[in-house]
Structure 1
Amino acid sequence: MRIVGRYEKTDISRMAQLLAHVTNGLDETPGDFLGRVFMQLELGDKYRGQFFTPWNIGLMMARMQLGNVEDNFRDKPFITLSEPACGAGCMALAFAFVLREAGYSPHRYLWVSAQDIDPLAAGMAYIQLSLSGVPGEVVIGNSLNDERRRILHTPAHYMGELEFPAADENECSRCMKAHTEQKATNHCGLFFSHI
């Protein structure tokens, strides 16, 4: 209530309407709804190389990377996706779409680490991944020098649907130690498979 109290009632109503538009946009047509709107409005910064991946390209890349989806889960309970320049989240959304298409719910079989230097782009990715039920983190920062200014975990990240096998406990500990030594703040850096 403290945050909402800073806004006028008309602004609160508009924010609710915008959220409804984004939710409906994601439901009606699978894809990167906010990224598509962003590019249609020509809000990208060509001087910073800001061109968002079109949905059909993201979908093609996800299908190529995942191949036969079932094969990805023969020896591990879930996969991770690292997206170092995520924009509005197209690639992560495409991976989630391909998993759903194959009968695998992303909130149980996917964990995403998406990062972008632009806070607006990272915010769009966070909104879309959150509304799509994808567990993971969206990092605002520079992937090239491991700068992590802010980390936003999606609601599905906190739901804890991913199952870490007991047999991999030592591997998890080693991985967490490695991330700690790198001074990364990602407390969920348990990567069993990098795609």
Structure 2
Amino acid sequence: MISVNKPQRLFCHLFHCVDPPKPTPRNHRRRRRRGAPTPAAFLFAPARAEVCGTSKQAGARLQLIDGLSLTGSNTMSTSTGVTALDHTIQEANIWLKAIDEQLALEDRHQAYSALRAVLHALRDRLPPEVAVKLGAQLPIMVRGIYYEGWHMAATPTKERHLEEFAAHIVRELPPHFPINPLTAARGVYEVLWEKLDPGEFGKLMAHLPTSLRNLQG
């Protein structure tokens, strides 16, 4: 009987094969039809199943983002089975719900758009080291939204007037957004004051011009 070599045993351990692949004796090889799958195709089938999400576990991982409720539901649509990930999805939902209520928006999609636009405008106006300190205070999923597309070398921007700051927010919002950009900023500011440490957030905001800090001309 031909034994399975160490690399094959290692592969089966990593990808949970039911049975290790059995090598064909050298003196008993068969000619493969043109177009037929190679032995390697079968060997790596478990790995492809994991990547493509055809297994139940892969499908659950691919549905991670579905747990973030953007329709207004207070419950998660799925559980990842990982406590830390489920917790950060719940935290993101709490933030979106607070912004939705603060701004009286139609749904969580709009709350997400408002949060993203204002966080980006605020992040870009702060000095990089201060922006990083603000990011460190955000929940994991909100932090990902905050850092999306950040070009640190281009910051801080030179906006000093409300009109410039409002124009920055508009560029980040989807077309025909139902509320004024400064109204969106005030709502997100309120949630930031509520959710973060007021003292630390106040220190960060002190780096903004007074008009952008108070959102008043």
Common fold by TM > 0.5: no
Q: Higher strand share goes to which structure? A: 1
Q: Higher helix share goes to which structure? A: 2
Higher relative contact order (CA 8 A, sep 6+): 1
Q: TM-score, normalised by structure 2?
A: 0.26
Q: TM-score, normalised by structure 1?
A: 0.28
- Please identify the structure whose Cα radius of gyration is greater: 2
